[in-house]
Amino acid sequence: MTAPRSTLSSSPRAAVIGGGPAGLMAAEMLAARGIAVDVYDAMPSVGRKFLLAGIGGMNITHSEPAEPFLDRYGAGRVSLQNYISAFDADALQAWIHALGIETFVGSSGRVFPKDMKAAPLLRAWLARLKAQGVAVHPRHRWLGWGSDGALRFATPDGEISVRADTTVLALGGASWARLGSDGAWAPLLAQHGVEIAPLQPANCGFEADWSAHLQTKFAGSPLKSVALTLTDVHGNTERRIGEFVVSQHGVEGSLIYAFSARIRELIAAQGEATIHVDLSPQRDAERVLREVSQPRGSRSLSSHLQSKVGIDGVKAALLRECVSKDDFNDMTKLAAAIKALPITLRRPRPIDEAISTAGGVAFAALDGALMLKALPGVFCAGEMLDWEAPTGGYLLTACFATGRAAGLGAANWLQQP
């Protein structure tokens, strides 16, 4: 909780709790308005999950037009669109350029820093925040509020209390707890009457009942150039080409993440979800049937499938896994399976393994400036809000945009008469 408006200090201070992109952006907005800002983070340094996201290429946003971009947020579009429109992909890139970091658009439309790394961007950003007077306090784990309304923190030197005139919470979701996002904030807000949607894994893998053979021989193998088709709980069917990985437990990877919200909903509603994988999307069904039905002479069926329709390795193993022996020897049924291989998924992998989370602070609990209605002067931003998005730059864009909105909201709240 923060100080009542009648007791605000003449030189107000803002506390930002959480040192990820949303929190740091909120801090920048507050500092730009001349407000003293303290950033508190539980970890030894800020931006740890941001840096992890940059391993293998820092995908900062996406270059697609505004309407399809906003559609990526699904049911969250209505709640997020004003914040993202105010700080969209173009504005985000301009902001990055002002830090001295060049960007480029990849062949997929994704936007990356020129050197593909997160660390230089974070260093430049922290240097600018320091120049603005923002103070960063690592190893400060937020414990909620004391009876006097002060913020409580656990530190290496014991618990401390801090008074702030406004507070921005940007504590992340509940995935990758070792990097600071553990969802421990949820009960702290719930006890103050804040509506919290249950936290669930998003952009996550799913479990399948693989045989020991598939687990031993093919775990970690990528399935490239495939198409996935899913019919969701509302009866809507979508097909998308891409790739994913057969894991020890089931499936994971970019194509799975693109459908993860709908897969999760199907499992919740039906107890399981079935995806259909086209192992040869460059060939139509008639061609596949024609190719596999050709005489194979002395060649094995495996060699025949490899030469005629490019089915080998993990694709061949999946066929053997998911198609009965009788159907495997029926060329009509085998061809149908190659074009629409059914894979049954049982449950999401644990939330701590997920790239991001769904659920969090309900937008109904917030005003338009992202201030909690139950706790005046306390604002929320980033992944702790109830929205989700696929990978591809959409997650970071929304974190930056809501961080900016919460920071501006907090500054305006402090500076109102």
The answer, yes or no, to whether residue 10 has pLDDT greater than 80, is: no
Distance CA 165, CA 267 (A): 44
What would the DSSP string read from start to end of 285-341? HHHHHHHHTS--TTS-HHHHHHHHH---HHHHHHHHHHS-HHHHT-HHHHHHHHHSE
The pLDDT of residue 57 is 79
User: For residue 126, is pLDDT > 50?
Assistant: yes
Q: What is the pLDDT of residues 23-35, one digit of tens each?
A: 999 999 999 999 9
More confidently predicted of 294 and 401: 401
Name the β-bridge partners of 222: 245
Contact 208, 249 (CB under 8 A): yes
Task: Determine contact, residues 377/412, Cβ cutoff 8 Å.
Answer: no
Q: Give the containing element (helix H, strand E) for 230.
A: strand 221-231
Task: State how far the Cα of 282 lies from the Cα of 288, in Å rounded to an integer.
Answer: 10
Q: Which two tokens stand for residue 161?
A: 């209390």
Whether residue 161 contacts residue 151, with contact meaning beta carbons closer than 8 Å, is answered with: yes
Counting residues of the chain whose pLDDT is more than 70, the rounded percentage is: 97
| Beta carbons of 239 and 311 less than 8 angstroms apart | no
Q: What's residue 306's pLDDT?
A: 87
Q: Indicate the pLDDT class of residue 6, thresholds 50, 70 and 90.
A: very low
Q: Dump pLDDT digits (tens) for 309-361.
A: 888 999 999 999 999 988 888 999 999 999 999 999 999 999 999 999 999 99
Angle at 413 between CA 412 and CA 417, to 5 degrees: 90
Here the tokens at position 185 are: 């904030």
